[in-house]
Homo-oligomer: A and B are copies of this chain.
Amino acid sequence: MSDLLRRLRGRGWRMTSQRRVVAEVLDGDHVHLTADEVHALAAERLPEISRATVYNALGELVALGEVAEVTTDGRAKRYDPNAHRSHQHLVCSGCGLVRDVHPSGDPLADLPESERFGFTLSGAEVTYRGLCPSCGEPARDA
């Protein structure tokens, strides 16, 4: 059993076969699946699992802080199980590929008091945009 499943069970998360496969599908590094992708992968092991259940499970994992929700653009949210190590995202403007990155420096420290407008800050997300090695090569006709 993975660490994730062990942690969830330890926190009193009622374990069902559906929740198990969702958690298993999300296990690993550099995983950034959409809800539909999670559903498709889960359905390979448990064909009857419903979309609603996947959405429920993902929502709970996010609420528990085990998985982070990443909105890279106007498309579907992606779910990132690497929520315990603080990191940011590098997104390919061409194909949508997402990589975890670890910038130096703390963006929160870069926001002076005069620019906080009385807000109580809780965090900052940085999204780097660019072209991945495949998309960056000049397109070539056949």
Contacts and interface: CB of A to CB of B under 8 A. Distances in A.
A38 to B, nearest CB: 15
A123 B129 contact: yes
A108 B74 CA distance: 23
Contacts of A41: none
Interface in A100-121: 101-105, 107-108, 110-112, 115-121
Contact of A101 (B103, B115, B127): B115
Contacts of A13: none
A102 B115 contact: yes
Nearest to A111: B103
A18 interface: no
A130 B117 CA distance: 11
B108 A128 contact: yes
A10 interface: no
Contacts of A141: none
Interface stretch (A19-27, A45-53, A131-139): A131-139
Contacts of A107: 103, 105, 107, 110, 126, 128
B119 A131 contact: yes
B103 A115 contact: yes
10 contacts: A90-B115, A103-B110, A107-B126, A108-B128, A111-B128, A117-B132, A118-B132, A120-B130, A122-B129, A124-B128
